Structure 1
Amino acid sequence: MKTTASRILAPFAAFAVAASLTACGGSDEPSSSSAGTVTAWIYPVIADDKAGTAYWGQIEKDFEAANAGTDLKIELQPWLNRDEKLATAFSGGKGPDVVLLNPDQVPQYVRNGSLAPVDKVVEPAKDKFLPGAVKALTVDGKAYAAPIYHTVTTTMYNKKLLDQAGITTPPQTWDEIKAAAPKLKAAGVATLDYSASPTATLNLNFYPLLWQAGGRVFSEDGKKAAFNQAPGVEALTFLTSLYSEGAIPKAALTNGNVIADQPLGKQQVAMGFTNTPADAKTVATTWGAGNVIIGLPLKGEKQVGFGLPGGLSVNAASKNLAGAEKFLSFMIDPQQVVSLGSASGFLSPRTDAKVPAKDAEAEKFAAALEYAYPGEPNPAARQVMSLLAVELQAALTGKKTPQQALDDAAKQADDLLARQR
């Protein structure tokens, strides 16, 4: 048993946990395992460095006690540059036996043959998982990751600022946000927090609004962009109108999903719509716990918020596939699912293993889980985000109309998708 870790500062962008985290990083050299060893790359799902090291160290001990003859080595990795490091390891036929992945990462590694199907692990417990948890980690009918936790985002309001504007019921729909904006402006604050920095994941800004409008990022077959259709234009028009009226802070252009650094955290804006349990704990120290209100995801044509499962995948080149599968089976067991959720603050991907809510806010986030949508897995998902983010900024600053910006992004995305077929 060996847990390797070194301290570096890395943003938790991909999991949509909007906070600046101190992460653990393993060796820069790709790992390779002998027949009796299982190496796993795990990322900072537990925000506190010391607590994460202790938790995964105990997992190593417990797994080895239950699986005599197998040496588990968990290497705690940083989020920063994780795809580059993992791709390099996979391309060299090395890398860990097991790696923690998000749904938008899985398709690209399946396409290049880096992952082995894990249906043997998932199938016995498949009916115990949330319907979307396994589906989000499935490609062409095969599961390529076993869910071990689930994230969720939802609305968060500053009660003090709403009270100052005479708003007694927090805005829960797009129309209610539009109606509240003039009152909040008169009270000297903005209405809706937003992160438009090109470094911010669209899963925590534009995409939830697109889904709420009834739109999609990609066509059903995944071969074309769909975000420039009517729902996408409606969502971006909603955003640009609020921005031009001052209901979204001008700082949105550089905001990057870090709550403490944003107007919402600084009490300059009344609400956010893609906030996490970690965000709620962060602002409670400055707003006062009584001023933190957690609601359900916003409602447009649909009521939906962003949330995704984190899953463990198996390296197709592993020298110990059987040992890797045993580790996955160990981690999806209800006992481990609950222990990880309790340590990380995330929710359970299983219906038969609930993570105990520590407070009223945690219960509200748990209630939002039924509206959580993980997005549309596509091998080009990350690249399309980068293309679209630039055009969204052009629309917000008035350089292009919403339709022009989305059409320009769609043309680039379609060219990219065509080259990758």
Structure 2
Amino acid sequence: MKTGFKRATAPLALFMLAASLSACGDGDAGSDSKKVTVWMYPVIADPKASAAYWDGIEKAFEKAAPGTSLTVEQQPWDNRDQKIATAFGGGKGPDVVLLTPDQIPQFSANGAIRPVDGALKDSAGKFLPATMDAMKQDGKIYGAPIYQTITTTIYNKKLLTQAGITTPPATWDEIKAAAPKLKQKGVALLDYSASNEASLNLNFYPLLWQAGGTVFAKDGKKVAFNSPEGVEALTFLTDLYKAGSVPKSSMTNTNLLADQALGKQQAAMGFSVVLADAELAAKTWGNENVVVGAPLKGPAREVAFGIPGALSVNAKSKNTAGAEKFLAFMTAPEQIKSLGKASGYFSPRTDVSVPNASPYAKQYQAALADVSPGEPNPAARQLMGLLAPEIQAALLGKKSPKDALDDAAKAADDLLARQR
């Protein structure tokens, strides 16, 4: 790569996409710049494998788009938002940057990124509907998805069997019925992460969606999580906690399976678990004791959280045409497959499957049919900081579920009003 990494030969075919690349994009065709700079993050966890993969992408793209120089710069996850905002605010930054759905509203609202509909004009209808919806603001597409994450339920078969439970609980009602049986064996049923540092997308929000609720009102100007559906979701959770069926350690959990009751075989079920954690559980529990199920089903729907990683174009790029060509290149089936294979993530396209040798890959692939990428909003992350402590207060019995959600909603609506 052109970032100080030693060049390595990557097992990547040089895909000849020149025809499609030259046809895409309606960017700054008159620019003299022939360079495209990309800020990429550790999507591929192993640094050497990541360097080799993106080095291969540089070579393949430069061959497919003669005359264009591509530089993929590896960036750390830490302080990502601040660094991107600072770069964009200063009129600098890369031509292309990897963003997630919760970042797109903020950067599109302040004009830092530009629509990329042109780069996806031949493929926009081939992505998961929920994924593509997460890329849109005011009807325009601001991100080109290149990979997809998904969570779903996992169960410890040994703990369920010891409690006389032969069928893993897949609905709220089944959880309520199974919880006392596990409690008699001194085991919690449902693990949860209630730490303020844990993302609500991986704990409370899926329950809210399963109940039929939403985080925001349709216009995005107020919140809606304190609806009757929201109260039902939080009551479901607090009742389990009070009964000892959600472990007390949940209050400090941060969605790290190995450190939590689920990983330590003190809880029998998790409902927002990624594939890598299912494989980690197999190493400690034994393959025969890991059961991967469909997303948890609530009173209204079956749904699990998962997000795409998407490439967005800097509104002040000096080579928007080249940037859009790179987006078209990376969203082509060949690159979706190669990146998925290198990273372990899934395909955001409905017409492309990523080969995966994991024994649980099929269950996770099936869960994509019920994926939700969250509810993108410029204030989404700040709102979590207001709601999480109120959920803790409800779990600890300091407030009723309704009072906790109403108090959080008041603070959140004030926040949204100040940002309008």
Would you say same fold, with TM above 0.5? yes
2:296 aligned with 1:290: no
Moved more, 57-66 or 190-199: 57-66
- Describe the shift of the 1:34–1:183 C-alpha distance in structure 2 as closer, same or farther (beyond 3 A): farther
| 2:19 counterpart residue number | none
- SS of 2:131's equivalent in the other structure is helix
Q: 1:36 to 1:403 in 2, by over 3 A?
A: same
Q: Offset of 1:45 from its aligned partner?
A: 1.6
Distance 1:273 1:89, change over 3 A: same
Structure 2 CA distance for partners of 1:4 and 1:395, relative to 1, 3 Å: farther
**Alignment partner of 1:124: what SS?**
coil
Q: For residue 2 of structure 1, what is the aligned residue in structure 2?
A: 2
**Which amino acid is the alignment partner of residue 209 of structure 1?**
L
Summarize deviations over 1:46-99 as a string: whole Å, max 9, x none. 222222222112111211222222221111112111101111111101111111
Instruction: Tell me if the contact between 2:294 and 2:367 (Cα under 8 Å) persists in the aligned partners.
Output: yes
| Aligned match of 2:376 | 377
Shift in Å, 1:34: 8.2
Q: Distance in 1 between matches of 2:177 and 2:337?
A: 41
Distance 1:281 1:57 in 2: 29
Aligned counterpart in structure 1 of residue 81 of structure 2, from 80, 83, 91 = 83
Matched, 1:52 2:56: no
Work out the CA distance in 1 between the residues paired with 2:212 and 2:110.
32
Among 261, 264, 272, the residue aligned to 2:262: 264
> Following the alignment from structure 2 to structure 1, what is the Cα–Cα distance between the partners of residues 307 and 417?
27
Separation in 2 of the partners of 1:314 and 1:190? 46
Match of 1:316? 315
Is 1:139 matched with 2:133?
no
Q: 1:378: Cα distance to partner?
A: 0.9
**Structure 1 residue aligned with 2:94, among 93, 96, 114?**
96
Q: How many residues align?
A: 395
Structure 1: runs of 5+ lacking an equivalent = 7-32
1:345 Cα shift? 1.4
Per-residue CA shift, 1:271-298, capped at 9, x if unaligned? 1000111111111111111111100011
Classify the secondary structure of the residue corresponding to 1:209.
helix
What is aligned with 1:74? Answer: 72
**Does residue 168 of the first structure (1) align with residue 176 of the second (2)?**
no
Q: Hey, what's the Cα distance between the residues in 1 that align with 2:93 and 2:148? A: 25
In 1, Cα distance between equivalents of 2:178 and 2:410 = 36
Over the residues paired in the alignment, what is the CA RMSD in angstroms? 1.5
Matches within 5 A, 1:410-421: 410-421=409-420
Is the contact made by 2:144 and 2:312 (CA closer than 8 Å) also made in structure 1? Answer: yes
* 2:395 equivalent to 1:396: yes
Aligned equivalent of 2:365: 366
Per the alignment, in what secondary structure is the counterpart of residue 122 of structure 2?
helix
- Partner in structure 1 of residue 146 of structure 2: 148
Equivalent residue for 1:201? 199
User: Matched residue of 1:256: which SS?
Assistant: coil
TM (norm. structure 2) is 0.92
Asked which structure has the greater CA Rg, the reply is 2
* Distance 1:34-1:248 versus aligned 2 partners, 3 A rule: farther
Q: 1:320 to 1:190 in 2, by over 3 A?
A: same
Look up the match of 1:10.
none
CA 1:311 to 1:419, structure 2 compared with 1: closer, same or farther past 3 Å?
same
Deviations 1:100-145 (A, max 9, x none): 1111110000111100110001121112112122111010000000
- Which stretch shows the higher mean deviation, 240-249 or 69-78? 69-78
* Counterparts of residues 171-320 of structure 1 (less than 5 Å): 171-300=169-298, 301-320=300-319
Report the residue type matching 2:323 in the other structure. Answer: A
3-state SS of 2:214 partner: coil
Corresponding position of 1:19: none
| Equivalent position amino acid for 2:92 in 1 | K
Specify the SS of the correspondent of 1:148: strand
Match of 1:340, SS? helix
Mapping of residues 322-341 of structure 1, within 5 Å: 322-341=321-340
| Counterpart contact for 1:4–1:75, Cα < 8 Å | no
Distance change in 2, residues 1:34/1:184 (3 Å): farther
Q: Alignment partner of 1:360: what SS?
A: coil
- The offset of 1:44, in angstroms, is 1.6
Which deviates further from its counterpart, 102-111 or 73-82? Answer: 73-82
Q: Structure 1 139/4 Cα, relative in aligned 2: closer, same or farther at 3 Å?
A: farther
Distance 1:105 1:5, change over 3 A: farther
Q: Which stretch shifts more, 224-233 or 344-353?
A: 344-353
Cα distance in structure 1, aligned partners of 2:310 and 2:136: 11
Please state whether the residue corresponding to 1:2 is helix, strand or coil: coil
What is the one-letter code of the residue matched to 1:297?
A: P
What secondary structure, in the 3-state scheme, does the structure 1 residue paired with 2:234 have? helix
Q: 1:182, CA displacement in angstroms?
A: 1.0
Counterpart residue identity of residue 289, structure 2: N
CA contact (8 A) 2:225 2:409 kept: yes
How many Å separate the matches in 1 of 2:5 and 2:293? Answer: 37
Rounded to whole Å, the distance in 2 between the matches of 1:50 and 1:266 is 31
User: Using the alignment, how far apart are the partners of 1:411 and 1:206 within structure 2?
Assistant: 18
- Could you tell me which amino acid in structure 2 is paired with residue 2 of structure 1? K
Q: Partners in 2 of 1:47 and 1:164 — Cα distance? A: 37
What's the secondary structure of 1:329's corresponding residue? helix
Secondary structure at the aligned position of 2:61 is classed as helix
Matched position secondary structure for 1:195: coil
**Percent of pairs identical after alignment?**
66
Q: Give the drift of 1:222.
A: 0.5
**CA distance, structure 2, for counterparts of residue 4 and residue 233 of structure 1:** 52
Q: 2:156 is aligned with what amino acid?
A: N
